[in-house]
Amino acid sequence: MDRERENRRLYGRAQGHKLSARQQALVDEMLPGLDWPDEGPVDPAALLPGFTAHVLEIGFGASEHLIGQAARALETGFLGIEPFLNGVAKALTGIEAQGLKNVRVKRGDARDELERMPDAVFDQVYLLFPDPWPKSRHAKRRFVQPDTAGHLARVLKPGGRLRVATDVRVYADWALPLLLDRPELDWTAERADDWRTNPADHIVTRYQSKHLGDIDPVFMDFRRAA
């Protein structure tokens, strides 16, 4: 493990209230069966073989968006990464309740997992309402940084899409230039409504509906150049 990774810290909670017995059983029994390796490369085509399209959601929280999108597109493979155990347990509950065969989840830090992923493997990556860390002295904690922006661009297939959403002004002002700086990424917005309204395919989560930020949500959609 390199020094950068050793120095990384996850801020925020890794677990909240105690899991129910059912959730604990899913974490103990179902999660290991989802076969996400702890070491070595993480290749979506190996994790979910037989799917031609793959989608990644980073920091899926209570998993409403991940599970909702996966239930809509059973022919697409979905990978989700979330450090918060209660969120992972909710995703497992959704996978089981809906009998989904097209979802794999990892309890972990998406920065580490992104580094383990090959180039050009995802058709879509979602980073929705990442923890905002609005104070400038906490800027280093924000998920979008020059290196993660590079990985987000790198793991997209040519023509693949990235969606970053936030309802915090400083986060939008911080993330947009870092993403625009990536030569591989084209911002697809043509008019203000393209970033100021929920995209047609979006699923609103409980977190988003709480309106904790200081602006209406903005959706920054990018396409990786072919």
Ligand X SMILES: C[S@@+](CC[C@H](N)C(=O)[O-])C[C@H]1O[C@@H](n2cnc3c(N)ncnc32)[C@H](O)[C@@H]1O
Tell me: does residue 217 bind ligand X (CB under 6 A). Answer: no
Q: How far is the CB of 86 from ligand X (least distance, A)?
A: 9
Partnered with residue 81 across adjacent β-strands are 58, 106
142 touches ligand X (CB under 6 A): no
DSSP element (H, E) containing 187: strand 185-187
Give the nearer residue to ligand X in terms of CB position, either 43 or 131.
131
Among 61, 77, 94, 213, binds ligand X (CB under 6 A): 61
Q: Which of 76, 124, 166, 205 binds ligand X (CB under 6 A)?
A: 205
Q: Is 85 in the site for ligand X (CB under 6 A)?
A: no
Query: Rule CB under 6 A: which of 7-36 touch ligand X?
Result: 10, 12
- Assess 171 for contact with ligand X (CB under 6 A): no
Q: Is 148 a binder of ligand X (CB under 6 A)?
A: no
Q: How far apart are the C-alpha atoms of 65 and 187, rounded to whole Å?
A: 22
Residue 69 interacts with ligand X (CB under 6 A)? Answer: no
- Nearer of residues 58 and 178 to ligand X, judged by Cβ: 58
Binding ligand X (rule: CB under 6 A), the pick from 109, 115, 123, 167 is 109
**Is 216 a residue of the active site?**
no
* Closer of 191 and 205 to ligand X (Cβ): 205
Instruction: Output 136 or 209, the one with its CB closest to ligand X.
Output: 209
Which of 82, 95, 65, 79 is CA-nearest to residue 204?
65
The answer to whether 117 and 43 have CB atoms below 8 angstroms apart is yes
SS3 55: strand
Nearest to 175 by CA among 199, 198, 215, 148: 148
Phi-psi region of 40 (alpha: psi -120 to 50; beta: other; left: phi over 0): left
> What does the buried/exposed string (b/e) look like for 130-155 if buried means 16 or more CB atoms within 10 Å of the residue's CB?
bbbbeeeeeeebbbbbeebbebbbbb
Q: Can you give the binding site for ligand X, defined by CB under 6 A? A: 10, 12, 58-61, 81-84, 87, 109-111, 128-131, 143, 205, 207-208
